[in-house]
Amino acid sequence: MTTITNTPETLRAAMVDQIKAAGHATTPAVEQALRTVPRHAFVPEATLEDAYADIAVITKRATDGSALSCASVPTIVAMMLDQLQVQPGHRILEIGAGTGYNAALLTHLTGPTGKVTTVDIDPEVTDGARRALDATGNQQVHVITRDGALAAPENAPYDRIIFTVGAWDLPPALWEQLALNGRLVVPLRWRGQTRSVAFNRSDDALVSDSMQLCGFVPMIGQEGERTGTIDPNGLVSLYWDADQTIDPSQLTGVLDQPKETVWSDVLVGPQEPFDGIWLRLTAQDNRVCRLATDHAAIDTDLCTPAIPSRSPALVEDASLAYLAIRKIAAGRHELGAVGHGPHGKDLARRLCDEIEVWNQDREAQPLVRASCARPAGENGQDLNVQLIEKTESRLLARMP
């Protein structure tokens, strides 16, 4: 009898085939890097199967169990490398060393004439990355223990900068160290959602040309997102940005008020994403935020959002509305909104209006322009532009 074992090579090949089937690793260079670099060598405590599964491998946790560092989901890694558009000879900075796996992929992409620098605030993480990189023949990667917000001026300027941690803000060091016409890829959080955004450097601004849904361990030291519960039992929470005038105390008990439900006639199938509605809203309405609900609130019909852990909501004073979904037929669901409070129905209608516009072009994405200072002549008062104020940067978002 012949026993067939899953070797690292066969598992890695299957992983890349799955990534390709998902629509990522779109260039021969990225595909070859993924087929070459041994991911299992960077997560030695994981089984071979887990090392090559399409999952994040957690390598360090906080005392409360939350992830502090990990090897990211392979499809997300490939997606972001596609966005980064690395060329041989590039100088690259990575913020968030993780296991060192992504730095090894970047080294393969830049070739012998390139240079990769990776930075992380946690010495335990950088020590682990250094060991794995050395063990896999990537001694040329420069590993630095430092607050990622400071980046690495000693090896600047960079043709490419990539964040492998979630960022709420864009630190000034990016403008100082990213070369003109350089490219930045960052999992950026605004209005409660996170997107891997690819920016091109143009003079004093960064202009987006690609956005993909993602989730990452948050960067330490960026505290711009606020959160609060809106029911006595703490089952329903809101997440909003510091520049928004949302006061959860005004919403206490709002979910006990009558529901105002509005349906859009827009249908989606089980595999059809609808996160683009939220993305559009961030460029159209400064009242949008994230709503998260415990399953106990759903079981009692207190709050029934489309996705319990993360659904867009609109908040105005003591009223709110959130995205909802209902089954219409086998494999078909209708999108709508549920409102509560004095303006709840109006907010629900507003959400449904955006659902209907999204349905006309589901692939449309906003253009985001990021800068260190408010751009001259643009004050965010244009109804077609949303100004999102961060601590050290500003975003202007508009639909094309």
Q: Which domain holds residue 347?
A: 225-360
Question: Does residue 375 belong to any structural domain of this protein?
Answer: no
pLDDT digits (tens, 9 = 90+) for 130-160: 999 999 999 999 999 999 999 999 999 999 9
Question: What is the mean pLDDT of the segment spanning 111-118?
Answer: 97
pLDDT at 378: 52
pLDDT at 381: 55
Question: Does residue 148 belong to any structural domain of this protein?
Answer: yes
**113 and 27 in one domain?**
yes
Confidence of residue 226 (pLDDT cuts 50, 70, 90): very high
Q: Which residue has the tokens 């509305």?
A: 321
More confident residue, 66 or 139: 139
| Residue 305 predicted with pLDDT over 60 | yes
**154 and 273 in one domain?**
no
Instruction: Write out the two tokens for 339.
Output: 């409102």
pLDDT at 352: 98
| Residue 326 predicted with pLDDT over 80 | yes
Question: Does residue 136 belong to any structural domain of this protein?
Answer: yes
Beta-bridged to residue 397, according to DSSP, are 368, 386
Question: Does residue 400 belong to any structural domain of this protein?
Answer: no
Question: What is the mean pLDDT of the segment spanning 269-285?
Answer: 95
**295 and 196 in one domain?**
no
Summary mean pLDDT of the chain? 93
More confident residue, 400 or 74: 74
pLDDT at 2: 43
The number of folded domains in the chain is 2
pLDDT digits (tens, 9 = 90+) for 168-180: 999 999 999 999 9
pLDDT at 4: 53
pLDDT digits (tens, 9 = 90+) for 243-275: 999 999 999 999 999 999 999 999 999 889 999
**176 and 89 in one domain?**
yes
66 given a catalytic annotation: yes
Q: Which of 213, 239, 263 is the last residue of a domain?
A: 213
Question: What is the mean pLDDT of the segment spanning 267-292?
Answer: 96
1-37 in b/e form (b: 16+ CB < 10 A) is eeeeeeeeeebbeebbebbeeeebbeeebbbebbbeb
pLDDT at 31: 98
Q: Which of 153, 186, 213 is the last residue of a domain?
A: 213
**229 and 195 in one domain?**
no
Question: Does residue 365 belong to any structural domain of this protein?
Answer: no
More confident residue, 378 or 99: 99
Confidence of residue 75 (pLDDT cuts 50, 70, 90): very high
**169 and 36 in one domain?**
yes
- d(C-alpha 246, C-alpha 314), whole Å: 10
**190 and 41 in one domain?**
yes
**232 and 209 in one domain?**
no
**334 and 288 in one domain?**
yes
| Residue 376 predicted with pLDDT over 80 | no
Question: Does residue 373 belong to any structural domain of this protein?
Answer: no
**What DSSP letter does each residue of 98-129 carry, written as one string?**
TTSHHHHHHHHHH-TT-EEEEEES-HHHHHHH
Which H/E stretch holds residue 33?
helix 28-36
pTM (2 d.p.): 0.93
Instruction: Write out the two tokens for 391.
Output: 């601590």
pLDDT at 382: 62
**What DSSP letter does each residue of 152-221 carry, written as one string?**
-GGG--EEEEEESSBBSS--THHHHHEEEEEEEEEEEEETTEEEEEEEEEETTEEEEEEEEE---PBPTT
pLDDT at 1: 42
Question: What is the mean pLDDT of the segment spanning 170-194?
Answer: 96
- Cβ contacts of 135 within 8 Å, gap of 6 or more: 41
Question: Does residue 145 belong to any structural domain of this protein?
Answer: yes
- d(C-alpha 351, C-alpha 281), whole Å: 8
Instruction: Write out the two tokens for 143.
Output: 């590993």
- Cβ contacts of 23 within 8 Å, gap of 6 or more: none
**144 and 242 in one domain?**
no
pLDDT at 3: 44
Residue 33, domain CATH: 3.40.50.150
pLDDT at 322: 98
Question: Does residue 345 belong to any structural domain of this protein?
Answer: yes
**201 and 249 in one domain?**
no
pLDDT at 380: 47
**182 and 242 in one domain?**
no
Point out the least confidently predicted range of 3-17, 31-45, 89-103, 153-167: 3-17
Pick the catalytic residue from 66, 72, 210, 237: 66
pLDDT at 215: 84
